Amino acid sequence: MKIIVDAMGGDNAPQEIVKGAAMAAQELGAEVILVGRGEDILRSFQELGFKDLPSGIEVANASQVVDMEDDPSTVTKTKTDSSMTVGLKLLHDGGGDAMVSAGSTGALLSGATLIVKRIRGIRRAALAPVLPTAGNSGTLLVDCGANAECTPEYLLQFAFMGYYYAKTHFNVDNPRVGLLNIGTEETKGSELYKEAHKLLRQACDEGRINFIGNVESRSVMDGVCEVIVCDGFAGNILLKGLEGMGSFLMGEVRKIFTKSTKTKLAAAALKDDFSDLKRRMDASEVGGVAMLGISKPVIKAHGSSDARAVKNAIRQAMSVVERDVCGDIAANVQFMKVANPAEQQ
């Protein structure tokens, strides 16, 4: 398989992107197509000590770069020779099996929707980051910001897409799906969430997904489910809140362990344990955020991704391709639709 990588996207492009692609080719056996300014890509390889392109690496030239100031909704039309646009067109045309970019999230989502297209029958694509949780490998949050306003059908589709992706990412046969809400009772929440609860319960009763009911935000980090479903507005608040709290707590722990000689000695004794905790909290270990609902795999790496994060994003893309997550979603779209009352008459 071939993974297309936007070499010019992100804060550390192209150096860290190129380095991460080289690591993926060497360590994972990945075939990578780096899209971007050819001279800059080749110069980065030379700075890494490569006289020639490493085995498994190709370069597709693109003269323009998508900047964070560009309008996400139109940039793939105004910058038709940008690394992001060329990469997405290459993916659409079958030149690669998946794409990874650390560039603008809005531009990538808009471009993927317009160029690569959504899976037929999927109403909206969703962003699905993995949250670190206690007792297991994490929880998939669907959606974290792509869709601020949703319908019950959107949430139903988010649940199905998250269910199939979680099977691959967490390597579990029957992932648990929870609906983010203000209480665990099925009568809690707005009309949107009450109706979504009914649809998810019906899908569970039919054996389509493993719906466990409503989940309060305080329980998300306990690892009660592999997939947590919500609209993008609530999901983004949850995600940013957890990021802020995590940063605060790590900072406070650091202060405690550097306060005195006694606490410094304790920190030294617990160094390996804290290193493991830091690794679990590190987004670079996951690699990126999957854009679920697009007809071919698209992974959004963090804007500040280093080489390790890029390598892991490529690993993530390879896994989605190997397990044919997009195919699983497409094959089950018929179970994710809500009939329009007008169509039933």
For residue 165, pLDDT over 70 is answered with: yes
Residue 189, pLDDT score? 94
Q: Which residues lie across from 82 on neighbouring strands?
A: 64
Residue 72, pLDDT score? 92
Query: Would you list the DSSP string of 4-71?
Result: EEETT-STTTTHHHHHHHHHIIIII--EEEEEE-HHHHHHHHHHTT-SSPPTTEEEEE--B---TTS-
All domains of the chain, ordered by start, with CATH?
1-122+293-345 (3.40.718.10), 130-287 (3.40.718.10)
Please tell me the distance from the alpha carbon of residue 4 to that of residue 59, in angstroms, as a whole number: 10
Tell me the two tokens of residue 46.
Answer: 């030379």
- Residues 232-243 have pLDDT tens digits of 999 999 999 988
**Three-state DSSP class for 237?**
helix
Residue 169, pLDDT score? 87
Please tell me the distance from the alpha carbon of residue 298 to that of residue 292, in angstroms, as a whole number: 8
Query: φ and ψ at 202, to 5 degrees?
Result: -65, -45
Q: Which residue has the higher pLDDT, 259 or 211?
A: 211
Q: Which residue in 105, 19, 95 sits closest to 54, CA to CA?
A: 19
Query: φ and ψ at 185, to 5 degrees?
Result: -70, 145
Tell me the two tokens of residue 238.
Answer: 């949850």
Tell me the two tokens of residue 146.
Answer: 């792509």
Q: Which residues lie across from 300 on neighbouring strands?
A: 101, 289
168: pLDDT confidence band, cut at 50, 70 and 90? confident
- pTM score: 0.90
- Residues 74-102 have pLDDT tens digits of 999 999 999 999 999 999 999 999 999 99
User: Which residues neighbour 332 within 8 Å (Cβ) at sequence distance 6 or greater?
Assistant: 160, 164, 208
- Average confidence (pLDDT) over 164-173: 92
Answer for the pair 18, 7: CB distance below 8 angstroms, yes or no.
Answer: yes
For residue 144, pLDDT over 50 is answered with: yes
DSSP class of 299: E
Please report which residue ranges of the chain form alpha helices under DSSP H: 15-23, 38-47, 75-78, 83-92, 105-111, 152-170, 191-205, 217-220, 232-257, 261-269, 271-281, 307-322, 325-331, 341-344
Residue 128, pLDDT score? 95
Residue 267, pLDDT score? 79
Count CA within 13 A, CB hemisphere, residue 191. Answer: 2
The percentage of the chain sitting over the pLDDT mark of 70, rounded to a whole number, equals: 94
Query: Could you check whether the bond before residue 143 is cis, i.e. omega within 30 degrees of 0?
Result: yes
Please tell me the distance from the alpha carbon of residue 196 to that of residue 226, in angstroms, as a whole number: 18
For residue 285, pLDDT over 60 is answered with: no
